[in-house]
Structure 1
Amino acid sequence: MSEATEPLRDLVRRHREPAVVQTVRSTAAAVISYVVALQLSSEPAPLTAPLTALLVVQVTLYSTLTNGIRRVNSVVAGVLIAIGFSALVGLSWWSLGLVILASLVIGRFVRVGEYVPEVAISAMLVLGVTQVTATAWDRVLETLIGAVVGLLFNFLFVPPVWVSDASAAITDLAGRMQKLLAHISDQLGEHTPVERAAARLHEARRLDHDIVQVDAALRQAEDSLRLNPRVKEPLLSRLVLRTGLDALEICAVILRVSCRTLTDLAKTRTAGTFFPPPVTTELQELFGHLSHAIGSFAELITTQVSANAEEAESRLATELATGRECRNRVARLLLDGVRTDPEHWQLHGALLAEADRILDELDVEKRSERLIEELDRHTREAPAGRRWFEDLKRRVRGSVRRGGSGAD
């Protein structure tokens, strides 16, 4: 008995996952639209209504609205094309070809997006019946019923905000980057064959795939914030996550370059560590600070509680400051080494420059400046009636100034 109910229990446990939410919401909206269409349409089986609801209802309110409008446009365009053709010609192979051609061409001009094939489908279904006019308007009515039910469903039962899923994905990405930095730090303290260094390089390259997945989760979160009455400041929330992910993506690229540098260094070392013991110790400390800084940065951009954000920002500032001090010590030690052994100074300098770039990319002030720039850009692109973006920008600037005075 327990084995039989396990799938249901698993569904309950995963009730907030997008796939589960989409399944439940689409099913409910389709059934409701079919019941309504039975009362209003003369068709005995008005299946166009639930079909429209299935295509209209999305995981987020924003995507539901945009899909609903495009869906209705595509069906109405197809029906009008079918009515026009039915008044001139009957159904034959060449008229069918003309209807499909005209529908696909017109679909590009009415801006229905991915629903261009639906224009041709609607035209063919309507053209293939005997009483074209009556069936055509029944199909339009059913489509409107499905679209309206889908839209009302999302207005009455507002979809979840998927920020937590995007935040979890960003946190997981940061954790993978921290794990890679830990592996780099470990291999600095012992002899590293080329094969092991290359394995770290492959690990760094796999971060690209992780970033693609995080970006998809973030796009869904951004859509869930648009037009959602649960969110007071959707623009600022979206920009904090988006700019934060951009910074982590750049850091991932830098880490991949660092792994490439260490792989090249491994080719020059048949025995022993990459660097003398004093340099190795300082470099391991530097990579440790970089790891902690990435973790604090991820917590800063994903936290929803201001007190936790201030604590994460404080830890990040501390790690960056300590990391820069450690970087300067490494630079002095490497400079002394160059004077005695200048053979591989290019690789040593590259490794140091890559650490510099990560420290710069995670900088608190740089992050605030990027947020302000993005708010400025959205303000310039927004209509005159949406100048409330200026209030968000001033709020960010105010928090930056307060943060700066606190740091002093």
Structure 2
Amino acid sequence: MSEAVSARFRRWLKDPTVVLTIRATVAATLAYAVALQLSAEPAPLTAPLTALLVVQVTLYSTLTTSIRRVNSVVVGVVIAIGFSSVMGLSWWSLGLIILASLTIGQFVRVDEFVNEVAISAMLVLGVTRLATQAWDRVLETLIGAVVGLLFNLVFAPPVWVDTAGESIEDLARQARHLLLRIAEELGGHTPVERAAARLHEARALDQAIADVDGALRQAEDSLRLNPRISEGLLSRLVLRTGLDTLEICVVVIRVLARSLTDLAKHREEGEELLPSDVALALEELLTHVGGALVSFSVLVTTQVSRNAEEAEGRLTAELSAALASRERVAQMLLLRVQAHPKAWQLHGSLLAEIDRILDELDLEHRSRRLMEELDRASVANRERFTGLGRIRGLVRGEGWRRRKEA
């Protein structure tokens, strides 16, 4: 019982929401304590508020959020000082400053902190000691941002690769379970309603993909600017391309479920969805396809080389078994179509959709896709560094010297 409780507690501590709650609470408290010593305000609540906003789950998001947050407050303070020099506080001046703040906020690239520009301007415009209060607010914002950033530098946030990997594997298992349920209902007199229910389940996997994408974005951010990760780019691309492949497979499964639903609609009353021998062969094929999906997800989320070799071996075995089953099903469906050509398009689409899944899971296809993404990322990095080199050259006057020499 104690082991189960301890395991549940460890999972609880790994939850991103729990981690963010604890870290934000500690950082906000520290920011308030520092602001009490440095700010003239008796209750410098802007500092803990800023720390609360900038201490995100990852170091990269903390840094980018800090910059946008400080930028929004400074812009709001400058707007308020400019307005206060020509007008006082009234209903029309308040509306005018809100309009100006929200408009200017769109151009200074503060993203989700656009409203913070207007909030800062309103708070500063309403105080009596304008200049002192304004710059005290800027100081508190800087304190909160610096404390939040230093907190993440000293107490490095966790890397969420394992969490993203677990979500990818869970998505593959959901797809596998759906394929198994579809396979179990291929024989017999499957009603249209049941086939349509499987189609609805396939469509519901879209939400699971969105959840996995959110977890993966969080993992990608945790790898950026992280000194503990030496191959962050490769890890990001492996997970991202793996999710892209699973997303394509889920779409194909949805099309497969739609083809079976249409097949159930077009059969005659009392007719089986598929002959028993074809149903058994197709059930075996879908079972291997589901196993290949899970093996593929394990392969792309495995960090240890020995475990990766084992996962690759399992995936190869599942794909080989699926290809052999696919050939048997193709021969059976061909005979079926020759005897009953009425629904030959739907029978052919079943094989075409399974072929698409097997092609996406193929190891050569996977390696080629990963290499393409690595090349694309390398080109992007090279262009970025080339641009930075040109900027440095202009700053140093190298471009001017070259033109002068010419």
The alignment's TM-score, normalised by the length of structure 1, stands at 0.89
The residue aligned with 2:322 is 323
Deviations, residues 125-152 of structure 1 (Å, cap 9, x unaligned): 1111111111111111111000000000
Aligned-pair distance for 1:191? 2.5
Instruction: Report the equivalent of 2:252.
Output: 254
d(CA) in 1 for partners of 2:7 and 2:28? 24
* Contact kept in structure 2, 1:48 and 1:146, CA below 8 Å: yes
Q: CA deviation at 1:386?
A: 5.9
Which SS does the other structure have where 2:124 is aligned?
helix
2:229 corresponds, among 220, 228, 231, to 231
Partner of 2:44: 46
Q: Could you list the per-position Cα deviations for residues 36-69 of structure 1 after superposition, in whole angstroms to 9, with x for gaps in the alignment?
A: 1111111111111111101111011111011000
Residue 142 of structure 2 aligns with which residue? 144
- Deviates further, 146-155 or 372-381: 372-381
What SS class does the counterpart of residue 373 from structure 1 fall into?
A: helix
Contact 2:73-2:141 within 8 A present in 1 as well? yes
Q: Which residue of 2 aligns with 1:271?
A: 270
Runs (5+) with no aligned partner, structure 2: 387-406
Deviation at 1:305, TM superposition (A): 1.2
Q: When the two structures are aligned, how many residues end up with a matched partner?
A: 381
CA distance in 1 between counterparts of 2:195 and 2:280 reads 19
Aligned to 1:394: none
CA-CA distance at 1:272 after TM superposition: 5.0
Task: State the alpha-carbon separation in 1 of the partners of residues 8 and 306 from structure 2.
Answer: 35
Report deviation, 1:278. Answer: 3.0
Question: What is the CA–CA distance in structure 1 between the aligned matches of 2:201 and 2:54, rounded to whole Å?
Answer: 40
Assess, with a 3 A threshold, how the Cα gap between structure 1 residues 12 and 274 changes in structure 2: closer, same or farther.
closer
The residue that corresponds to 2:336 in the other structure is 337
Instruction: State the Cα distance separating 1:227 from its structure 2 match.
Output: 1.0
Map of 2:216 onto structure 1: 218
Inter-partner Cα distance in structure 2 for 1:23 and 1:278: 56
After superposition, the Cα gap between the structure-2 partners of 1:322 and 1:188, relative to the gap in structure 1 and judged at 3 Å, is same
1:71 matched to 2:69? The reply is yes
Give the residue type in structure 2 aligned to 1:288: T
Q: Once the two structures are superposed, what CA deviation does each residue of 1:137-183 show, in whole Å capped at 9, x if it has no partner?
A: 11111110000000000000111111111111111111111111111
Structure 1 CA distance for aligned equivalents of residues 318 and 97 of structure 2: 66
Contact 1:193/1:270 (<8 A) preserved: no
Q: What is the Cα-based RMSD across aligned positions, in Å?
A: 1.9
Q: Distance in 2 between matches of 1:344 and 1:152?
A: 66
Q: CA distance change for structure 1 residues 108 and 299 in 2, over 3 Å: closer, same or farther? A: same
Paired residues of 1:198 and 1:263 also in contact (CA < 8 A): yes
Given candidates 178, 181, 191, the residue that maps to 2:179 is: 181
User: What is the CA distance between 1:222 and its match in structure 2?
Assistant: 1.1
Please point out which of 199, 202, 205 is paired with 1:201.
Answer: 199
Q: 2:60–2:225: 8 Å Cα contact kept in structure 1?
A: yes
Structure-1 residue corresponding to 2:394:
none
Q: 72, 92, 95: which one pairs with 2:93? A: 95
| 1:143-162 map, 5 Å | 143-162=141-160
TM-score, normalised to structure 2's length?
A: 0.90
Does residue 344 of structure 2 align to residue 355 of structure 1?
no
What's 1:240 paired with?
Answer: 238
| Aligned 8 A contact 2:188 2:274 in 1 | no
- Alpha-carbon distance, 1:321 to partner: 2.3
Write the distance in 2 (CA, Å) between the matches of 1:193 and 1:104: 57
Q: What's 1:62 paired with? A: 60
* Whole-angstrom distance in 1 between the partners of 2:275 and 2:116: 68
Note the C-alpha offset of 1:291: 1.0
Shift of 1:325: 2.2
**Structure 1 alignment gaps of length 5 or more:** 1-6, 388-408
Q: Distance in 1 between matches of 2:131 and 2:50?
A: 20
Alpha carbons 2:278, 2:333 under 8 Å: kept: yes
